[in-house]
Structure 1
Amino acid sequence: MPNLLSYLLLPLSWLYAAVMAGRNWLYEQGWKPQTAFPEVPVLNVGNLRVGGTGKTPHVTWLVQWLRQQGQRPALLSRGYGRRTRGYRLTSPTDTAATVGDEPLQQFQQFAGQVPVALCEDRVAGIRQLLQEVPDLTAVVLDDAYQHRRVQPACNILLTEQQRPFYQDWVLPAGRLRESRRGARRADVIIVTKCPLQLPAAEQQQITRRIRRYARPDVPVLFSGYAYGAPVAVPGTAASVQPGPEVVLLTGIAQPGPLVEYLAEAGYRIRHHARFADHHAFSPADLQALAAQLQPGQCVLTTQKDAARLMEPHLAASVRNLPVFYIPIEVRFLADGAARLAEQLTAYFPPHVVV
């Protein structure tokens, strides 16, 4: 529920929303140029809200689906949190500091078989990608919904079931980057982090509220997470599978679903070291974490956090820590995966799709 501070900040939110609405109008009227790429379909996964809607696992699902169809996709991200600038194609020698934690996670997820590029200017980034990787058949943009200079073939908008955009306000009173009307640019809307048994009646109610802002023909799909068995983080002392008592380490926007899953799976979290999203872990952080560990306990974390724990300057700090990450996989409710696949197939010529 909105608090008093949110109400006091509403005038600033209206001003920010007006600026963003004016910017969007300039693009829609052609006063600001947009660049389309007829060479390959550009598929954008983004949101209206700041952080935590599940972009990374949904991007992973999308890339996996494309590869299963015989496509040769590449990923393009801004590379939030990296200490480098400009265009960069991820290589095995890169770290979270050079490319950002999420791009590094994606590069490792696909064992380097999917090009993962970084560029603040997505137009320049796509052009460079097409030059360096000429056999591409698709480009997936990670978090570029407000990057209007690119005209994507498909805009996939994510919104959390527990924090839907239609109940939020624009910054600074709320967490929206632009007004709810931005949903009209979406070609697909996915309600994320849902219970896998979310009742159909509740899905219908959410869909009706979304359609107040989206185009009437846009598919509204629902997804949740399936969690896998703990995976040992390379370079740590993880060996034997975790016991029931654990210490949790997170540097993500919304650790709540993971905490709930661990409780349901029978883990007892004795300490939760919670940091801000994309937090750059320090040796001091890990020293404090080690002090919380009791004999027989281990550290559980997320795959994104694990990418940052493998920074070279942390090697000595994690060497003796038993650290595992919990992998997650997107699962669509009902026929959502089939409906999304049908929507995506339309962007690829029949002779290309295997």
Structure 2
Amino acid sequence: MKVIFYLLKIILFPLYGLYYAVIFLRNWLFDAGFIKSISPKVLTINVGNLSLGGTGKTPHVEYLVRLLSDKYKVSTLSRGYGRKTKGFLLADEQATAQTIGDEPMQYYLKFKDKINVVVCENRVEGVDEIQKKFADNQIVILDDAFQHRKIAPHLNLLLSDYNKTFYEDSLVPFGRLRDIRQSAKRADVVIITKCPRQITEQEKENIRREVWAYTKAEVSVFFSKISYQEITSYASKNNFDATKNIGVLTAIAKPEAFIKYLSDKPLKIEKNFDFPDHHAFSRKDIDKVLGESNESLQIITTEKDMVKLKPQLSENEIKRFFYVPIEIEIENKTAFDALINAEINTFILPSK
């Protein structure tokens, strides 16, 4: 097996070298000013990463929404990955995961009375349209725009998974990075996500030193943890029964942590249904899941996946489906919140 592994590395190395060169050249053209980046007139805060996914951008965007939406007019702007539409779209009551993407749909279901949820592939165009439609909008939270170099956010938050930090990872196909490590120098703040409950001060200091080898001098480095909420349901009555067998259904980048969380609880996991990240569930998929389980089996999934499943479930079926909302806890929350608010104050945003 080792021989095959090394042969594959040799075969794939030219592809790796070409990809690295293309990304390096593209970043250099932006950094040198040959390709212009636009800094919008409205305050923009980006939540991004260097990897292909799985760093927890969605709950961190939601954290910012909770922090800011009571004081300011806020919009979120996402690409809308996996949607079957194009261009600028504002989420409304007719929106679905197919029209705006799963993460934006989740934002809309949670915060539709507080914020504008927008999708647009072109982030510059998206911000411009937001400001045209909502003259009182004060902040745009960019979901996953770290590689979208045509827009220059006022505050760039870089997320990196504790279990595979960007400085330990490699570009695809040898790793999960979609951008080179040196791009971390564009970060104004680095958040190490999915940290264990117990992490020593020495380990945090070691991580900071590794991060600072790639970033601007000693940028602020924060550590966040996932906080799983109660198992819940979209049914009129949450009838989850912990004594019954369950099936775990996921279509996320790194389902291991979610599965481990459920496995550590006193639950009877009978079956796992694993789909690719951002999988667009079809009726055939649902029939397959239900067909491979007995009628008493309860299906537990992630909140992001439930957003896609819900519109396709009948009233009786939805009683069998449950999901686990997640939030994040930021260590040294007071300092993090103060940093965000200081950026807002620097931009001289009037509060409501």
Q: TM-score of the superposition, structure 2-length normalised?
A: 0.92
Q: Which amino acid aligns with 1:23?
A: R
Does the 8 A contact of 2:252 with 2:276 survive in 1? yes
Among 338, 343, 347, the alignment partner of 1:347 is: 343
Query: Are 2:301 and 1:305 aligned?
Result: no
- Uncovered stretches (5+) of structure 1, i.e. residues with no partner: none
Query: Are 2:63 and 1:61 aligned?
Result: yes
Deviation at 1:287, TM superposition (A): 1.8
Deviation at 1:16, TM superposition (A): 1.0
Structure 1 runs, 4 residues or longer, greater than 6 Å off: none
Does the 8 A contact of 2:77 with 2:127 survive in 1? yes
Equivalent residue number for residue 206 of structure 2: 205
Question: Pairwise mapping of residues 230-245 of structure 1 onto structure 2 (< 5 A)?
Answer: 230-234=231-235, 239-244=238-243, 245=245
SS in 1 for 2:75: strand
Distance 2:343 2:93 in 1: 31
Q: Which amino acid aligns with 2:16?
A: S
SS in 1 for 2:328: strand
Distance 1:56 1:149 in 2: 22
Equivalent residue number for residue 166 of structure 1: 167
Query: Are 2:31 and 1:25 aligned?
Result: no
SS in 2 for 1:125: helix
Equivalent residue number for residue 42 of structure 1: 44
Deviation at 1:98, TM superposition (A): 0.6
Residues 262-309 of structure 1: CA distance to partner in whole angstroms, max 9, x if unpaired? 122222321110000111112222122113434543110111001101
Equivalent residue number for residue 138 of structure 1: 139
Equivalent residue number for residue 279 of structure 2: 279
Q: Which amino acid aligns with 1:297?
A: L
Deviation at 1:93, TM superposition (A): 0.9
Deviation at 1:48, TM superposition (A): 0.3
Equivalent residue number for residue 317 of structure 2: 319
Does the 8 A contact of 1:283 with 1:317 survive in 2? no
Q: CA RMSD in A?
A: 2.0
Distance 2:277 2:16 in 1: 23
Question: Pairwise mapping of residues 72-151 of structure 1 onto structure 2 (< 5 A)?
Answer: 72-151=73-152
Does the 8 A contact of 2:189 with 2:219 survive in 1? yes
Deviation at 1:234, TM superposition (A): 4.4
Query: Are 2:271 and 1:268 aligned?
Result: no
Distance 1:283 1:188 in 2: 42
Does the 8 A contact of 1:243 with 1:296 survive in 2? no
CA separation of 1:239 and 1:346: change in aligned 2, threshold 3 A:
closer
Q: Which moved more, 1:97-106 or 1:318-327?
A: 318-327
Residues 134-153 of structure 1: CA distance to partner in whole angstroms, max 9, x if unpaired? 11110000001000000110
Distance 1:274 1:113 in 2: 34
Does the 8 A contact of 1:290 with 1:321 survive in 2? no
Distance 2:250 2:208 in 1: 31
Distance 1:269 1:285 in 2: 20
SS in 1 for 2:46: strand
Distance 1:280 1:348 in 2: 37
Does the 8 A contact of 1:251 with 1:278 survive in 2? yes
Does the 8 A contact of 1:234 with 1:310 survive in 2? no
CA separation of 1:315 and 1:294: change in aligned 2, threshold 3 A:
closer
Deviation at 1:318, TM superposition (A): 6.8
Deviation at 1:112, TM superposition (A): 3.9
Does the 8 A contact of 2:47 with 2:143 survive in 1? yes
Deviation at 1:80, TM superposition (A): 0.5
SS in 1 for 2:98: helix
Q: Which amino acid aligns with 2:61?
A: V
SS in 1 for 2:226: strand
Q: TM-score of the superposition, structure 1-length normalised?
A: 0.92
SS in 2 for 1:231: coil
Identity, % of aligned positions: 36
